[in-house]
Structure 1
């Protein structure tokens, strides 16, 4: 990986656990990653956890030394003072947004090989007047992607969402033929990026029992099944629609490689139930790699030094492997 640009890690919401888990992840000095955030915030987090750590401010990713005991930060915020810990506030919301936008610009310029994002808080961004509902939408807009999708993955299952951050009522309306095709294609591409040569994509139904032949709804008949057939005509190993309450069980048993979920909770509940420390969020459809831990800002424990950084470590490992597969510098390693 020495010939590949370093990864960018955004610090997340400065009032949450983001800075803490970033420090814990980078403290060993074994990762080729630089922090996009606030030098003051990261220095404060480092002092709280380990006074022997040095937080070094750099101007460009290529200026990083990656020395053990040193964390290198690119100033990407307009913070003038440390925001309060453990509460949503506009200053932290604006700063978290600014760090993501700066990291995206660096990724598009090739200065970093990919982005790993620490958690942000939607309420805090709203307080700052930022209208994006989450990371995925910010990445899609500033990353220049025509369409993006979330893949949530852990050691046992992987899922891609047809619709993301919207109400259930809107999700039903948005889960049209084009949305189905996009999600299935991205699930196929995402599986291949993870080292699966011919991903088996299972598409979950929208209604109970996948509509029960139209008895509980006909979206499966008129929208989802035609999309599956069209995807199969493109050479994608897609099947379904499968009942949403059993398809993940079958995926855990090894029948499917990726499950396409119709809406947010249908896909995220199974992944998160298996443990937040194991899950990682991968954004598909971007011109660069992006991963993140599968949890939020945890304001209730922020600043206490007890946050678990395992999910961020997992996200970083996924990012390294995806970059290696995308660049071809190293042989892609299957992540299972």
Structure 2
């Protein structure tokens, strides 16, 4: 679906299509344990979040240079634009690269090379969000933040991702305080596989502006009332939820109930190369599985721009919202 939309939950490493993985492997002299792109694509079948993460991190070995990160981001932006994305807020995982000996500056400047020209090439405005791996230590997160200081002019926000269960948000209070002091916005994955208590912690301890995923919030009526009252955006990823078995089937997704509860829900792709679809594909799949009407689809698209970090560019937000209102199905 090409209705204008913002994508607010997108891991750039999760846009690594098999064909690009093989091209980068050849460029950098990396041997992949697969005979072809088709064989690799068949490996994109997961039992849970951890089985996905194991392959996700292994494939990052092909990303070595600024050019690699620029090519990865540019390929995503082209695909996203074709599906109606007008604004993208892009996560990246620096620890997954620095652990392999790739300097954080290589990652940030490579991504920025693509993002800086995105409006001209693709008609997509962008923001960059640096995520900390929650299954690494709080000390590692702080070291990463300090290493990123020379590049903070490129970064709009910090986030928290990777394996959720057993890694509560409260662990990362100190680095989030540092990010707030540096003037960065804050988001965090919470309530995907982890309990509603993690959503409370993300809000009250980390001071986040948005909750990434948040589908398990529906288990806690008091939390639902809080999210609705404060209009805290939730960046929901339907195809991802099904592929990682957080939701049994798309027609059982809690999104309609979330909307009925007055929550500010947005629709995103998460790791589209792995989970079967980009932003527009997620809209299409939801529309078909849940019989969403045009007003609901338009509401979801408007929500995405309402939730976007377009501080200082309210004219862009207004323009994008007008495009949603003018869209003809």
Q: TM-score, normalised by structure 2?
A: 0.30
Structure of larger gyration radius = 1
Query: Whose helix fraction is larger, Structure 1's or Structure 2's?
Result: 2
**Which TM-score applies when normalising by structure 1?**
0.29
